[in-house]
A and B are shown apart, each in its own frame.
Chain A
Amino acid sequence: MNRLIEIITSDKDSVRNTALETVCRDLSGSELLEACQSLDRFRRETTNLYQRVRALFFLSSLYQDYVPRSLPAASEGHIPFEGYTHLLERRFREAVDSFLDQQRDHGPDIATASALAVAYQKLGLQALANQVRRSVRTVAGNRWMFRLGHPAEHPLRMRRELLRPNATPSGYPILQETTAVRMDFSHSGWSDIFFLAMDYPEGARVLNASIDLGVRGRDEQPRPPIETYLRVIDRPVLRLVSIDLDCQAEIEQLPEVFDFARDYLGLLKAAVIATGLVPSGLESCEQPMAQVLEPMIGSGLGLEVVSKVNGIPKGSRLAVSTNLLGSLIALCMRATHQVSSLTGTLGERDRRTVAARCILGEWLGGSGGGWQDSGGIWPGIKLIRGEQTRAGDPEAGISRGRLLPTHEVWGDDDVSPAAREKLQRSLVLVHGGMAQNVGPILEMVTEKYLLRSTAEWRARQDAGRLLDEIMQSLREGDIKSVGSGTTRNFEGPLQTIIPWCTNYFTDQLIQRSRERFADDFWGFWMLGGMAGGGMGLIFDPARQEEAKDWLQAGMSEMKHDLETSLPFAMEPVVYDFRINDHGTWATLLGDGDARMPDAYYALMAPNWIRAEPRQLTPLVRRELESLSDQQAGGGLPERLRSQLLTRLLPQPVSRSDAEESLETLLDRNGFDPLQHEQIRADLRASRIGLSQNRLPPNTQIEDVREQDVTETRDGVDDSHRRLGEDAIRQGETAVVTLAAGAGSRWTEGAGVVKALHPFSRFAGRHRRFLEVHLAKTRQTNRRYDASTSHVFTTSYLTDEPVRRHLADVSNYGLDSPVLVSPGAAVGLRMIPMVRDLRFSWEETAQELLDEQQQKLRESLRSALVGWARSVGEAADYTDNLPLQCLHPVGHWYEMPNLLRNGTLNRLLNCQPNLKYLLLHNIDTLGADLDAGLLGLHIARDNCLSYEVVARRLEDRGGGLARIDGRTRLVEGLALPRESDEFKLRYYNSLTTWITIDRLLECFGLDRPQLADADAVDGAVRRFSQRLPTYITLKDVKKRWGHGHEDIFPVAQFEKLWGDMSALPDVRCGFFVVPLRRGQQLKQQSQLDSWLRDGSAGYVDQLCEW
């Protein structure tokens, strides 16, 4: 039997836990392909889900990491478009088959290998997700909700206690649920991920505590941060109110309940569905809400569900969302007899039922919590453990572990009251201000677990041992040891498994804490999936207060220093906390006290006042009268009165500071209002737009021939190398790094300076993109005894931060000139045309998402169309921070900017021998001043020599082609058909060798004219008209509330550097370079494989730190 299959199928732990690398590292190319074939056969034949999944992850890793290494350097190929389409539409099996057919017909190559790696990985993840979904649906107590087909069949009934009218303004009793959040001591290396816990239940252990919270300086004392309310109302609708998100809706039709992205009430809707109030089975039922409510509550009556999170920001890593969901679910289940107690705490059986529904709700809502996240439902400190599957379980025969874990609540005998108190007086909980997506980390953890990579697997065992140690320390009341354990857990196993769970900010925070508090700093405590947001730091109780003050000030200061380079979503906060000893708790507010919280009235009352009185129901009128009576009697709280007035009275229309600064910014950054109006008019008249970006359909597009490119992957001639070395030594070269971008894909639109992002550790500490590039120039200088200038081109977004940073670090000690070339053009974003939105969603290939996420996406899209129409198509986009409203106008402008802003002139003055520039993107980390390539460029006498790389699946957005017979680079958005791109073997790395004088000649300039600003401006303007203008849609983040973010697609225009190759008078060459030199880091999710496949090591050896 194939050794890999033996590992997968073995019952022996020692065999099953063998790392893939130990078997594969010495295999030859043909042996690897043979192993892949056997594994592929096995995964098709096996009926065991987890064995199939492991085989799929093995295959993915083989094609990602091992097969490419066995291929010749000059390997390239085509990815079949058919397979790519299958991939996008989630037909992963068919995609694999298509790619395998390609491999069989044309032999292995780097393109097909990359496609197979992705397809196998996605097939594995899909199989796992399907399994969890099936388990969630088949848990006893959840199934009936999927069977129900018509409102008339609704089997739930409201408790009588809630249906008794009373004399309060509310009219009916209010059921209130207060719920804690959960704080992990350790999750044993993310062992709470469903996939992992269900395959490795013996290793799935989490120790967590339910806690009450208060924001230091704002709240008097900690309290359960989550409050939810339910009551019967006198209108047959479902009224959902989220006080914290300032949002409410009255749902009159059933389909609206399933429209998650319509508003901010997705979590409440998920709770209503997961509790069966509106069961999933009714999803496609086009009926009025009243039909569901009548059998459940009574004729003419409706239901109101209200959520309130007491100002705890998003990204707290305390599972606020899951516990809010848990709270809402407990509330709704109490109200409908589905758990036994209407009030007070819940019994263990009921808590488990609620937890099962939480998992269902999370799946419905498209989020992905771990199985321990609803821990706030349980009281106090508890050990949560994975459970082995037993006969009769829905998971039997499918997974080794059950979906739901068991909770062992620790009493005072386990952790003494004194120890609990000491913990509370030692631990400081903070929110560092970063709200990051933890999803990619969870996928990485799953993959690494399935591969059993040696270091990571050892780290997982270590994490388990550390949990034992932490538990023992806690039992002994030794909080200092607890701190030692959590710190070692963070710095050891967690970072071994996922180096990206920490970041520069967190490392700095720990280092400064150590420096200031020395032995009184007892340790760091990572909360949830990653650090940077919610975190814990443990101090000697005697210094806890001092530490809180220091952390509050220190984190704010650090955030101020780092906010241009790291994605902070909010101002850091320090919490006060207390262990919650009763878990979720319900109270029935009856005759005397049936009243919603003040914030509810602040949100709702203004709408009631604005409505026609006859439209209000008797109970709403009664509530309004009660508010009026309170006001008359002086009993209305001051805060509520002020909030009501603010919402009711029209706010003075004044030009805000933000608006003014937008104008200032536009003015200062070369905004051209005439061009802007022309673009708006063209957009509205359909002269430009996404569909107009494309070349005519009859354009002939072919892949390049061998003679169209220069192959350099096997090396270049020594003569060329010597030519290049001489040029470097004689000061004929400089490097231009494009650093104008905010890395919208890198931080998902957070608007930080990508060049300054400390993205990965090199030589023991986090380094920024900018520092890496300077380190390469330092090595070049040292090697050739040269003094190569380095230019960073910037934009309105990045100029000031880049300059400040370079000054702060003294150019990282580089002894040659470092210049900054500021942007000289900027655009103002526009609301997209609905036509372009639809084109983008319907005419370009889009990845089909998981079933539930796809529903969310479609719902969101219809909301976005509504937004574009209501705000006005092609209107200026100004409803955001000024900097988020501006846009860079494309990288074509970077070189002309160098001319216009005088940087090139200065360069030539200080480095008169300068003849050649190496221009590259900030994220092309492997690009360096390679003497061989430079010599080749000189020898070919090109104006521009573009570097291209063999295409892999992720390299989308155009490539090198013969367009109507001319070899040139073409942007993906200009290709007439999606499939055209798949004919092209080479992808543009954007790295370009430039001969300065030839370029100036193309612009109609020479060196002396660079000092004449008018001549330069005129030349650039004339030249720019020869290049196409593309309309693109960019996702922009808008932040609001407590760390919440919305993403809007906005329209902007750009001109692109690759189009220079389309101009007949610009002599261009195309060098095929090794992948490691040309690959770009576009998304943080690439980092792990970048580190693993040796790319990081390659970059490191180019640098001198």
Chain B
Amino acid sequence: MNIRRAVITAAGPGQATLPLQQIVDGTGRQTTALEMIITETLSGGVDDLCIVVSPGQEAAFRQAAGSQSDRLTFLPQSDPRGYGDALFRAREFVGDDHFLHLVGDHLYLSRSEDRCVKQLVEIAHAEKCAVSGVQPTRERYLPYFGVVGGTPVRNRPNLYEVQSVVEKPTPTQAEQELTVSGLRSGHYLCLFGIHVLPPTVMDLLGDAMQETQPGESIPLSPILSRLAGQERYLALEVDGVRYDIGVQYGLLIAQLAVALKGSDRDRVLTDLVELLATQT
């Protein structure tokens, strides 16, 4: 298996400028969310990156990418038809190889020495199949994520055979179809936003484009569910945390998390305590 290319989708409604947000990284350096995502992506050993953006956003993204901008290919998504369509725009870019895919509105912080992407890519190499990152998530967040149903892989902690993927299920459906043994009750395996996908996913997306009425949106979760039905597909419980910077206070929380894990932890903590103490 050769994972040389990565696709980042950043053209969703309301997401077009999220990766451009300014943030201070763990070393105290001013950077952008995009640059952090690219750094995360490169930890997986990929050579080429492509970003699916809204038309006209290429220049802003190139600037936000900083020193990594030369490695980027931009694919504008005109007449967008959803997440699946965005990914499908990269079918020629990924060619016949497995590829890494990240969403552009999340930041990832690993709890281990290996970055989140690296953890996933290593499993993909070892198991020679598609792998999606997942995180056990409380059911209150079900309206925000795709959810994986599956079974634990024997003697492999944190690894699951994917049987189905459902986009934003209700808790009723989640309880009936997506309960995974070993998880706390009321917790489900929600997609983490990082995947290693096979080129066949592009065929499935192509089929979906054909089957769907013009203008109708194509989500990715049903495609992943189909993928699970035709080839081995694993989910890895990533040892890390994802931060959705698209939700209210999302960037603030992500910034705090990055700062508290970085070199200025004590300073930030002191400021936070002072802030708490002085607020009435």
Complex-state Cα separation, A303 to B143, whole angstroms: 19
Question: How far is it, in angstroms, between the C-alpha of A141 and the C-alpha of B185 when the chains are bound?
Answer: 12
A-B contact count (CB 8 A): 51
Given contacts A140-B179, A147-B186, contact A155 B139 (CB under 8 A): yes
- Closest residue of chain A to B142 (Cβ to Cβ) is A155
**Residues in chain A near residue B141, CB distance under 8 A:** 155
Report how far A141 CA is from B175 CA in the complex, Å: 5
Contact status of A337 and B176, CB under 8 A, knowing A144-B139, A153-B140: no
Interface of A is mostly: loop
CA distance A141 to B173 in the complex (A): 6
With an 8 Å Cβ cutoff, the count of chain A residues facing the other chain is 20
In contact, B172 and A353 (Cβ under 8 angstroms): yes
Query: B179–A147 contact, CB under 8 A?
Result: no
User: Which chain A residues (337-361) contact chain B, with CB distance < 8 Å?
Assistant: 337-338, 353
**Residue among B138, B141, B173, B179 facing the most chain A CB atoms (10 A cut-off):** B173
Cα of A155 to Cα of B142 in the assembled complex, Å: 6
- B177's closest neighbor in chain A, by CB? A140
CB contacts (< 8 Å) of B168 on chain A: these are 157
B240 at the interface (CB under 8 A from A): no
Chain A residues, CB < 8 A from B139? 144, 147, 153, 155
Q: At the interface, yes or no: A44 with Cβ under 8 Å from chain B? A: no
Contact call A276/B171, Cβ cutoff below 8 A = yes
Cα separation A40 to B139 with both chains bound (whole Å):
45
Cα-based distance from A145 to B185 in the complex (angstroms)? 12
Cross-chain contact B143 with A140 (CB below 8 angstroms): no
Identity of the chain B residue whose Cβ is nearest the Cβ of A353 in the assembled complex: B172
Contacts of B138 in A (CB 8 A): 153
B2: chain A residues at CB < 8 Å are none
Nearest Cβ on chain A to B181's Cβ, whole angstroms: 11
Q: Is the CB of A157 within 8 A of B175?
A: no
CA distance A162 to B174 in the complex (A): 23
Residue from B172, B174, B175 whose CB has the most chain A CB atoms within 10 Å? B172
CB neighbours of A156 from chain B (8 A): 143, 170-171
- Taking A143-B185, A144-B186, A147-B185 as contacts, is the C-beta distance between A338 and B140 under 8 angstroms? no
A336 CB within 8 Å of chain B: yes
A78 near B: Cβ within 8 Å?
no
Q: Which residues of A contact B143 (CB under 8 A)?
A: 155-157
Residues of the B chain whose Cβ atoms lie less than 8 Å from the Cβ of A778: none
Query: Is there an interface contact between B140 and A140, defined as CB atoms closer than 8 Å?
Result: no
B249 to chain A, nearest CB (A): 13
**What string of 1s and 0s marks CB contacts (under 8 Å) between B171-195 and chain A?**
1111110010000011000000000
Q: Return chain A residues, CB-CB under 8 Å to B179.
A: 140
| A147–B186 CA distance with the chains assembled, in angstroms | 8
Question: Is there an interface contact between B140 and A154, defined as CB atoms closer than 8 Å?
Answer: yes
The residues in A between 1025 and 1054 inclusive whose CB is less than 8 angstroms from any CB of B are none
Please, what's the 1-or-0 string for B118-160, where 1 marks a CB less than 8 Å from any CB in chain A? 0000000000000000000011111100000000000000000
With A153-B140, A155-B140, A155-B142: A144-B171 Cβ-Cβ less than 8 Å: yes
Q: Are A141 and B140 interface neighbours, CB within 8 A?
A: no
A140 touching B170, Cβ below 8 Å = no
| Cβ contacts under 8 Å, B185 to chain A | 143, 147
Closest chain B residue to A357, Cβ basis? B172
A156 nearest CB neighbor, chain B only? B170
A663 CA to B112 CA, complexed, in Å: 89
Interface residues of A in 408-461 (CB under 8 A from B): none
Q: Binding site of B, secondary structure by majority: helix, strand, loop or mixed?
A: helix
Residues of B within 8 A of A338 (CB): 170, 172-173
A154 and B138 alpha carbons, distance in the complex (Å): 11
**A333 contacts across to B, CB distance below 8 A:** 172
Q: Closest approach, in angstroms, between the C-beta of A109 and any C-beta of chain B?
A: 51
- Kindly state the interface size class of chain B when it binds its partner: 10 to 19
Q: For residue A336, which residues in chain B have a CB less than 8 angstroms away from its CB?
A: 170
Q: Closest CB of chain B to A665's CB: distance in Å?
A: 57
With a cutoff of 8 Å between Cβ atoms, the chain A residues found around residue B176 in the complex are 140-141, 353
The reply to whether B186 and A141 form a contact with Cβ atoms under 8 Å apart is no
A1094, chain B: closest CB distance, angstroms:
53
- With A and B bound together, what is the CA distance between A336 and B168 in angstroms? 12
Residues facing B in A139-164 (CB within 8 A) are: 140-145, 147-148, 152-157
Interface 1/0 per residue, A306-350 and B, CB below 8 Å = 000000000000000000000000000100111000000000000
How many Å lie between the Cα of A142 and that of B140 in the bound state?
15
Determine how close the nearest CB of chain B comes to the CB of A386; give it in whole angstroms.
21
In the assembly, what is the distance between CA of A276 and CA of B175, in Å? Answer: 13
User: What's the nearest-Cβ distance from chain A to residue B113, in Å?
Assistant: 34
Residues in A whose Cβ lies below 8 Å from that of B175: 140-144
CA of A333 to CA of B173, assembled, Å:
11
Which B residues are CB-close (under 8 A) to A154?
Answer: 140
CB distance from A402 to the nearest CB of B (A): 15
A690 to B138, CA, bound (A): 54
Name B140's closest neighbour in chain A (CB-CB).
A153
A148: chain B residues at CB < 8 Å are: 140
Contacting residues, chain B, for A155 (C-beta < 8 A) = 139-143, 170-171
Q: Which of B218-268 contact A (CB under 8 A)?
A: none
- The residue in chain A whose Cβ has the minimal distance to the Cβ of B179 is A140
Q: Which residue of the partner chain A has the closest CB to B169?
A: A337
List of A residues within 8 angstroms of B140 by Cβ: 148, 152-155
Shortest beta-carbon distance, A338 to chain B, in Å?
5
User: Per-residue 0/1 for B47-84: is the Cβ within 8 Å of any A Cβ (1 yes, 0 no)?
Assistant: 00000000000000000000000000000000000000
Most chain A CB within 10 A, of B138, B168, B171, B174, is at: B171
CA distance A337 to B167 in the complex (A): 12
A145 to B171, CA, bound (A): 9
Identify the closest chain A residue to B143 (Cβ).
Answer: A157
Q: How far is the CA of A141 from the CA of B170 in the complex (A)?
A: 9
Chain B residue with the shortest CB-CB distance to A296: B143
Residue of A nearest to B174 (CB): A144
How far is it, in angstroms, between the C-alpha of A154 and the C-alpha of B176 when the chains are bound? 18
Compute how far the CA of A140 lies from the CA of B171 in the bound complex, rounded to whole angstroms: 10
Give the complex CA separation of A155 and B190 in angstroms: 14
Closest B residue by C-beta to A340: B173
Q: Provided the pairs A140-B176, A153-B138 are in contact, do residues A337 and B170 lie with their beta carbons within 8 angstroms?
A: yes
- Distance A336 CA – B176 CA, assembled complex (angstroms): 16
- Complex Cα distance, B143 from A141, in Å, reads 16
With A and B bound together, what is the CA distance between A157 and B138 in angstroms?
Answer: 16
B173 to chain A, nearest CB (A): 7
**From residue A495, how far is it (CB to closest CB) to chain B in Å?**
42
Q: Which chain B positions have C-beta within 8 A of A140?
A: 175-176, 179
Q: Nearest residue in B to A279 (C-beta to C-beta)?
A: B171
Q: Min CB distance, B196 to chain A, in Å?
A: 29
Residues of B close to A143: CB separation below 8 A: 175, 185-186
Most chain A CB neighbours (cut-off 10 Å) among B139, B143, B170, B173 = B170
CA distance A359 to B90 in the complex (A): 49
Docked pose: A152 CA to B143 CA in angstroms: 13
User: Which residues of A lie under 8 Å from residue B172 when comparing CB positions?
Assistant: 141-142, 144, 276, 333, 338, 353
Return the chain B residue nearest A295 by Cβ.
Answer: B143
Residues 178-212 of chain A: 1 if any B CB is under 8 Å from the residue's CB, otherwise 0?
00000000000000000000000000000000000
Docked Cα-Cα span, A986 to B138, in Å, equals: 62
Q: Which residues on B sit within 8 Å (CB–CB) of A276?
A: 171-172
- Beta-carbon nearest neighbor of A157 in chain B: B143
Q: Shortest beta-carbon distance, A360 to chain B, in Å?
A: 12
Distance A338 CA – B141 CA, assembled complex (angstroms): 16
7 further A-B pairs in the complex, CB-CB below 8 A; given A143-B185, A153-B138, A155-B170: A144-B139, A147-B139, A153-B140, A155-B141, A155-B171, A276-B172, A353-B172
A–B Cβ pairs within 8 angstroms, 29 of them: A140-B179, A141-B173, A141-B175, A142-B175, A143-B185, A143-B186, A144-B139, A144-B174, A145-B171, A147-B185, A147-B186, A153-B138, A153-B139, A153-B140, A154-B140, A155-B139, A155-B140, A155-B143, A155-B170, A156-B170, A157-B143, A276-B171, A276-B172, A333-B172, A336-B170, A337-B170, A338-B172, A338-B173, A353-B172
The 4 closest A-B pairs by CB, nearest first: A153-B140, A144-B171, A141-B172, A338-B172
Please report A residues at the B interface, Cβ cutoff 8 Å: 140-145, 147-148, 152-157, 276, 333, 336-338, 353
